[in-house]
Amino acid sequence: MNINNILHSHKKWLNGEKGGVKADLRMADLTDANIRWGDLRGADLRGADLSGADLSEANLQEADLSGADLRWADLSGADLDKANLSKADLRRADLRWAYLNGADLSEADLRMADLSGANLIEANITGANMTGAYADG
């Protein structure tokens, strides 16, 4: 799987261009992938393994990351507005300055995650485990 090809095709899909295909990365192994600045708006990443991945400054608006493994992932500055992160494993994830406005974090595991400066306005954190999570307000 070539993530750059998938991102290129997804961008075409987002722009309504011929040959574009919405990114379907369900259950994909993207361990330690470099997707910094990537545009995966609306992508399907359900159950994907993104542990250790660099998703800093990525655009993941309305992406479905439910059940995804994001342990140790760098999501600093990522745009996760209205993203579905329900039941995602975000242990020790770097979410500094991430935009999580309206995101679904229900039952997510956020133990020891860094949420410093993160925007959690209207985020659903029902049942989320935030033990040891850090947020500086």
CATH code for position 88: 2.160.20.80
Q: What is the pLDDT along the chain (137 residues), one digit of tens a residue?
A: 788 999 999 999 999 999 999 999 999 999 999 999 999 999 999 999 999 999 999 999 999 999 999 999 999 999 999 999 999 999 999 999 999 999 999 999 999 999 999 999 999 999 999 999 998 75
CB 123 within 8 A of CB 103: yes
* CA 58 from centre of chain: 8
Report the number of distinct structural domains present in the chain: 1
By residue range, what is the domain housing residue 96? 23-137
**Would you say residue 2 lies in a domain?**
no
Residue 1 burial (CB count, 10 A): 9
**Would you say residue 13 lies in a domain?**
no
Cα 122 to Cα 54: distance, rounded to the nearest angstrom: 25
pTM for the predicted model, two decimal places: 0.95
